[in-house]
Amino acid sequence: MSSNRETYRYDPGSLRDPSDLMQPERLAALKQTRLSFARLMMDKMTEEQWDISRSRGGYDENGVGRAVYAIETPSHRFSFGVFSHESQEGAHTGRIVAEDWDMWGFLCDGDPAPELMDIQYEELPKVREGRATSDILIWTRGNRSSVFDHVVDSLAADHQPDIERLARGGYLTRSSGYYGNGLNGTKEFKAMNNDHPLSGPYMAQMLTIWLLRIYGFDVAEEMAAERSANAATLDYDIKRYLGTGNSSGIGIIHYVINHPQLMHTWLRAREVALGRVKTISPTSDEIDQFQSLLTRATAWFREDESDTKEYFVAKDRIADELERIARKLPTHCSENTPSTSWAELCQWTEDNLTTGTQEVLHSLVLDVHPEVTDGLENTLTVTEKSDIVPGMTLEQLQSLLSERYRWALDIDMTEPGSQRYFWYRSIDSEEPRLGIRGEHDYEEYEFPIDIARQVQRLELDLQQHRPSETVGEFLLQHPDHRGIVERIQTVHALPYAEIRTNPLDAEFVPLSLISCLKAIWGIQKAHPKSKGWVRGTFFQGAPLPVDVRRGDDSYWLYPEKPERADHWRGR
């Protein structure tokens, strides 16, 4: 390991082995970091002091109306067009499949003309067939949270809402998804030049998530104001404390398995940052800073009452273990002992605490040393290029299987339950689904996300051919293997490309991979609703438009629940 402060130097061999990191249980434990997209978006917005305000429109006492939010950056202007609505009771499900939503909106380049607003009002509710234009970056549809009405009622009665109720979910509005990058005719990610402020991965989605938060505050306040001349506005501290809700299901499994190059790129960047930070022996000031963050995080986990069910480490347990780290710290970093690096603390955590807490620690030490992520943001964009290598011999291909796909070959596909599920998409909004093999219809619609099974079938067929034959010759006779061969030949050298799991297995927990991607995106809270569906919160504690405008770059993660104030009770 290199010496202290050489933050850019790390031993590539010290990065976590994929046999550890790429296990679903480990991936499920990952937490947001400085390299998560939501945080990168927020950093950019505050650093460049974006000016975000409503440029036209508003909402009535039922929250119905249209509005356009203008987003001014130093080089571009964007707009967020919103159609706010009052959905019929029971019509919104929080899923892609729904008959109605409380809002739908779009993020676009420039300023949308009234005609575009009219057209998009009609098109956005058509989930599969609706058409955006190439100026539109993102489509979203959302719903009000269960505390939304309470907030409106409270404000209309001239007092602040019950903070305990708000704290449970942590948001007023929740989206069921963000659609862009060419879907429904939206602008393609590749069409954005490098100088486009949203050219980084998922930046347009993250901005839309943040805007949905602002929309939620506005609509609640205006509904209250329309109902009562004495209505209060939502307190600044409460607004800061609330984020945007998110609901995610098993569609993410298709995504993470079908984009191995992206997964590798994003995971590797955070592992490199971790590798760098572990080489640092912190100063006493840095230890103090870490202690302060640890205290914030402990309180935040302690206050989170959401039920993690059996899928995640309980929030209370993480809080307990963070306190153990706090107690360990003085002995770890005693002034009487030689300076020790973060690596030792990470190792102690690994030896003694749960994976969830280990990953919180990783996130926190990265926050103490933001410089270790320098340059890594630029590595997050990758072109997913893929092709077969037809001249490779089958002997060479077999060797790749043995060396890089041993994990897949070692899965016993003859075990009962190992092929219980099949994955497919329904014509209802293309929602992904799981069926039970042999019991349910539609097995013929199965999607090929069974990497381990495909590898095993490939190996079986390879054994029937001469090792000197080439891939080109082999595929002529076995076209069914073209997809898996192309994948292996493209990503075999990327250690974090393949998730070492079998999604067909009866014991497979989709939530683990959903949680992983959400951490990469930057979700903070995650509340599993089932083993394939999670709700969560983005941007809790994040700057508001007024903070962004003045470039407030203070630390916003793990926000404290606001204390009740006298003025909350009304005038």
Partner 1 sequence: MHLSVREVLDLTERCFIAAGFDAGPARANAETLWWQEAYRGTGFTTLFDLLDELETFDRSRLSLDRCDEIAVIDSGSQPGIVSVNPAVDLCCSLASQNGLGVVYAPLRDEDSTLSSLGHQSFRAGERGYISLTLYADQTSSGTVVGVPDDPYPHIVEAELTSRSESYARLVDFVSSTHSGAGHSSLVRALCKGSTGDRLPAEKHVIARLLEGAVTPVEPEHEVTGLVTICVDPTHQRYADGCRGVVESAVEGTDRGFTRRFHPEDIRDRVETLLENGIEVEASVWRDVFDYSSGVLAPEFEGSYQGAGFDINE
Query: Would you state the torsion angle of the CA atoms of residues 191, 140, 540, 529, taken in this order, to the nearest 10 degrees?
Result: -120
Least distance to partner 1, CB of residue 256, Å: 15
User: What are 347's two structure tokens?
Assistant: 């190792």
Q: Are 137 and 180 in contact (CB under 8 A)?
A: yes
- CB-based contacts of 134: which residues, under 8 Å, 6+ apart? 185, 186, 187, 188, 191
How far from the centroid of its chain's Cα atoms is residue 540's Cα?
14
* Beta strand residue intervals within 201-350, DSSP E: 243-248
Q: What is the layout of strands, in order, in the sheet containing 77-84?
A: 51-57, 65-72, 77-84, 103-109, 136-144, 171-180, 243-248, 533-538, 525-530
Q: 493 vs 506, which CB is nearer to partner 1?
A: 506
Question: At closest approach, how far in Å is the CB of 481 from partner 1?
Answer: 7
The helix/strand/coil state of 364 is helix
Instruction: Name which of 273 and 488 has its Cβ closer to partner 1.
Output: 488
User: Which residue's CB is nearer to partner 1, number 122 or number 480?
Assistant: 480
11: number of Cβ within 10 Å: 11
Which helix (H) or strand (E) is 63 found in, with range?
none
Of 131 and 492, CB closest to partner 1: 131
**What's the min distance (Å) between Cβ of 486 and partner 1?**
6
Residue given tokens 């929030």 in the structure block: 315
What six digits make up the tokens of 565? 């104030």
**Gyration radius of the chain over CA positions:** 25
Please say which residue, 45 or 455, places its beta carbon nearer to partner 1: 455
| DSSP-derived 3-state class of residue 433 | strand
- As to burial, measured by CB atoms within 10 angstroms (0-12 exposed, 13-18 middle, 19+ buried), residue 79 is buried
In the complex with partner 1, which residue's Cβ is closer, 1 or 476?
476
Whether the CB-CB separation of 36 and 519 falls below 8 Å is answered with yes
DSSP H or E stretch at residue 247: strand 243-248
Question: Cβ closer to partner 1: 21 or 485?
Answer: 485
Question: Least separation, in Å, of the C-beta of 448 and partner 1?
Answer: 5
Distance CA 331, CA 348 (A): 12
Q: Residue 259 CB: number of other CB atoms within 10 A?
A: 16
CB of 534 to partner 1, least distance (A): 11
**First-last CA distance in the chain:** 61
Q: Which is nearer to partner 1, 345 or 485 (CB)?
A: 485
**What torsion do the CA atoms of 305, 311, 314, 317 make, to the nearest 10 degrees?**
-170
Assign 538 to helix, strand or coil: strand
Residues 6+ apart with CB under 8 A from 378: none
Q: Taking the complex as a whole, how short is the minimal distance between the CB of residue 258 and partner 1, in angstroms?
A: 10
What string of DSSP letters covers 320-332? Answer: HHHHHHHHHHHHH
Closest separation between CB of residue 221 and partner 1, Å?
32
Q: Which is nearer to partner 1, 312 or 558 (CB)?
A: 312
Nearest distance, CB of residue 87 and partner 1, angstroms: 17
Please say which residue, 133 or 289, places its beta carbon nearer to partner 1. Answer: 133
Query: Please, what is the Cα angle at 152 between 147 and 158, to 5 degrees?
Result: 125
Please, what is the minimum distance in Å from the beta carbon of residue 487 to partner 1? 9
> 335 or 439, CB closer to partner 1?
439
Dihedral of CA atoms 89, 91, 94, 98 in degrees, nearest 10, equals -170
Cα gap 513→439, rounded to integer Å: 26
Residues that bind partner 1 (CB under 8 A): 95, 97, 129, 131, 133-134, 181-183, 185-188, 190-191, 249-250, 387-391, 421, 424-428, 430-436, 440-442, 445, 448, 470-473, 475-477, 479-486, 510, 529-533
Nearer to partner 1, 1 or 191 (CB): 191
Is 158:570 a contact under the CB 8 Å cutoff? yes
Closer Cβ to partner 1, 164 or 428, answer by number:
428
